[in-house]
Structure 1
Amino acid sequence: MSPPHHFSLRAASLTESDSSFIISAFDASLPYLETIGSLAQWGSTPFSQRPGWVEETQQQLQEPKRNHIADMTNSLRVFVLEAELVEQGIGRKDMEGLHSRVDDDGRRFVLVGFAFVRGNWFPGYLPAVTVAQAWPLQVEDCLYIEVMVSDARTKDLFRGVGAALIQEVRDYGRARGKKILYLDGWAGNERKLVRYYERQGFHEVAGFSLPRSQKEPWVGSLMRLTI
């Protein structure tokens, strides 16, 4: 068991390094999901091989900058979670395939996860009846984690990445006067992901089902956490 690590959250930059990390972490999630019986959550085709996906993701990474220029403070924010590398026992072989950076003080950080977070927003794919159950809070009081990924390649070195991501986003929301953090998760595979979010303090608002062409419906759960 690896020791506790110091995690920190920062806004994703427009550098090739952050873009490459986010794309590769999406891809790395699929083999891991397969090992736990959850491949149906996102399918087996690597994200980077899906038509138009890389271009769409890179455009999303540009969105926070455009929103900042337009003073749209409650739109998309992309955050990267890092762990400071201080253990002497982690060698070069352990770091193969991982993304890291060195700051101006010479400290080394490993990129371990990311989150796309939106304010004043609910995803359009949610059924209206599901969103209706999220009220009576005003949407201005809410943050929504659109997607959150812990880099599966780092799980043997850094534990608690998902919990740290949630806590950091929660702190971000609290500092901005938000009251509720929402997300939705896949409810297949015996609701393993839903139970994980419940262990992080989320409560289920409502379940939902989304039709898919020539596939079983995608079943999910809308969840909320008091900030």
Structure 2
Amino acid sequence: MADPTPPTIRPGRLDDVADVLALMDRATAWLVSIGRADQWGSEPHSTNPKRIAQIEGFARGGGLWIAEIGGSTVGALSVGQALPYAPPVDEPELYVQLLISDRSPAARGAGAVLLAHARELAVRQGVGLLRLDCFAGGEGALVRYYEAQGFTPGQAFTVAQPFGEWPGQVLSLRL
């Protein structure tokens, strides 16, 4: 069997917002199907005005990047300033605000390719710290994924959500 085609990465635009929200909706449906509604809730992101505005803001701000295979969106990354709930740092950083990839076999590895792109962006900007946060529940599976990508766990935190307290974990990567 041949290796899957790696995705190409391009800057995101406002007309990519629907595709990004569709990726998030599919991920949420999958999370709900495995009993993990505590990660993103159970409602579609594509009908949530706050989430739509957030993704549009990522696109307008220039931090949105799209991973494509054969012209189809298989992942998205947004980088920029730390999100409001993230503990501050005393040095310049690039913050991964969003990382989402499709669960299809063709898209396998898209998240790692997007994280490598985030590292490249940080290096180009002369920034020595790349940070992100993720869901810390679910027996820490997502935290372990980011550790496998070279990130080191830092401060844990919680964010109040309509569906309950969301346990988060900040992770960092020195460049």
Q: TM-score, normalised by structure 2?
A: 0.88
The match for 1:19 is 17
* Corresponding residue to 1:146 among 97, 119, 125: 97
Aligned CA RMSD, in angstroms, stands at: 2.1
Q: Report how many residues are paired.
A: 175
* 8 Å contact kept, 1:143–1:180: yes
The match for 1:124 is 84
Q: Percent identity?
A: 29
Which contiguous aligned blocks of 4+ residues in structure 1 show a shift greater than 3 angstroms?
A: none
CA–CA separation in structure 2 for the residues paired with 1:4 and 1:49: 32
What letter is aligned with 2:39?
Q
* Corresponding residue to 1:207 among 135, 156, 164: 156
Deviation at 1:200, TM superposition (A): 0.6
2:175 matched to 1:221?
no
Give runs of aligned pairs for residues 1-227 of structure 1, distance below 5 A: 3-14=3-14, 16=15, 18-64=16-62, 77-83=63-69, 85=70, 100=71, 110-118=72-80, 121-126=81-86, 130-131=87-88, 134-135=89-90, 138=91, 140=92, 142-152=93-103, 155-212=104-161, 215-227=163-175
Largest Rg, 1 or 2: 1
CA–CA separation in structure 1 for the residues paired with 2:161 and 2:19: 29
Structure 1: segments with no counterpart, 5+ residues: 65-76, 86-99, 101-109
* 8 Å contact kept, 1:2–1:157: no
CA deviation map 1:121-145 (0-9, x unaligned) = 322123xxx43xx45xx1x2x1000
* 8 Å contact kept, 1:113–1:150: yes
Structure 2: segments with no counterpart, 5+ residues: none
